[in-house]
Structure 1
Amino acid sequence: MPLANIKIPSRSLLPLLSAARRYSLSGAGSSGAENRAEKLNRIADELLDLNKIERQDYSILFRLKLGLDRWGAVTDVPPAVGGAGSPDSVAAATEVKEKTAFDVKLEKFDAAAKIKVIKEVRAFTDLGLKEAKEIVEKAPVVVKKGVTKEEAEAIAAKLKEVGATVVLE
């Protein structure tokens, strides 16, 4: 995104900038407000020097540190996010949640057990004989989508008993 399109919220920066001008013009109280203004200018310059990928990484890390999700809602933030912008800290903060829906995929089956596999596929999919046969012959194919872990394991166990190779995805 070009820098010309970036909108800076002027309301929140206005008091700080006016105070910095006042202090720099009058020379009084130069330690507090001037240091803040210099610090903000230094940070802004450093951010403008980042390349596109670094800016993206920084924005993700900044949102995580503030406890914001993608749309700005406050979320639970892990207490220790880690160092400033290290890839490990970003990865640790965005851990993948445990999978709840599984797909049962029929990889292959013994030719002698084809009829038994078709019967089992019919049993848990409520398909007709022709449809179940077509699915089994297409192996490798997903035979059941979006089932719970327990149900997927039960289906996989039944198919393995009759001679099929099954994978849970």
Structure 2
Amino acid sequence: MSLLTTKISPGPFLRLLLPSAARPLSSAAPASGGASAEARTQKLERIADELLSLTKAERDDYSILFRLRLGLQQWIPAGGVPTPGAGARLAAEAMNPAEVKEKTAFDIKLEKFDTAAKIKVIKEVRTFTDLGLKEAKELVEKTPVVLKKGVTKEEAEAIAAKLKEVGATVVLE
């Protein structure tokens, strides 16, 4: 990966940053073409003011658009929102393909159930929780609710299958 570097003379930037009275004499605009230099400075100041007035979301969109116009698509992540240090991270990912991490702990969430099967759902909830009849009934009536957290994949799939058999809609998160 090659990086392009260019040296920019500080003259134009000093004109933007320093008020005219505080500018050094060497950075004063020449007599010929002074009006065009002043017009450029005013244009740059206007652009800078407009960029500073943008919201954070608008600045993000602008930075993406600016990079696309410059032909720097490889530096924009797939989600479209650049993050600090994205260039180094993307370069590291290109060197070492990311390994897909498989989720090991699941939460069992009861989304909804048939009202006719409410008693069966409550009984089934009691089988895999340590709740009494009243507590299980209250929990089921709070639907949608997480019934159990941090369960292994096999156990979660078994519980979800049993709940689906009795008429409940279950989601593993």
TM-score (norm 2): 0.50
For structure 2, the 5+ residue unaligned runs are: 7-71, 76-81
Letter in 2 for 1:56: G
SS of 2:112's partner is strand
- Superposed counterparts of 1:70-89, under 5 Å: 77=96
Partner of 1:26: none
Question: Equivalent of 1:61, from 85, 90, 94?
Answer: 90
Q: Using a 3 Å threshold, how does the CA distance of structure 1 residues 55 and 142 change in structure 2: closer, same or farther?
A: closer
Which residue of 2 is the match for residue 22 of structure 1? none
User: CA–CA distance in 2 between the matches of 1:138 and 1:96?
Assistant: 35
Give the Cα separation in 1 of the matches to 2:83 and 2:128.
50
Task: State the superposition RMSD in angstroms.
Answer: 3.0
Match of 1:106 among 92, 104, 110: 110
Read off the aligned partner of 1:59 and give its amino acid letter.
A
Segments of structure 1 that go 5 or more residues without pairing to the other structure are: 1-41, 67-76, 78-92
Q: Deviations over 1:122-167 (max 9, x none)?
A: 1101111121111100111111111111101110111111111111
Query: What is the aligned counterpart of 2:165 among 152, 161, 167?
Result: 161
- Normalised to the residue count of structure 1, the TM-score between the two structures is 0.51
Q: Number of aligned residue pairs: give it.
A: 102
Q: Identity of aligned pairs, percent?
A: 72
Alpha-carbon distance between aligned partners in 2 of 1:105 and 1:55, rounded to the nearest angstrom: 36
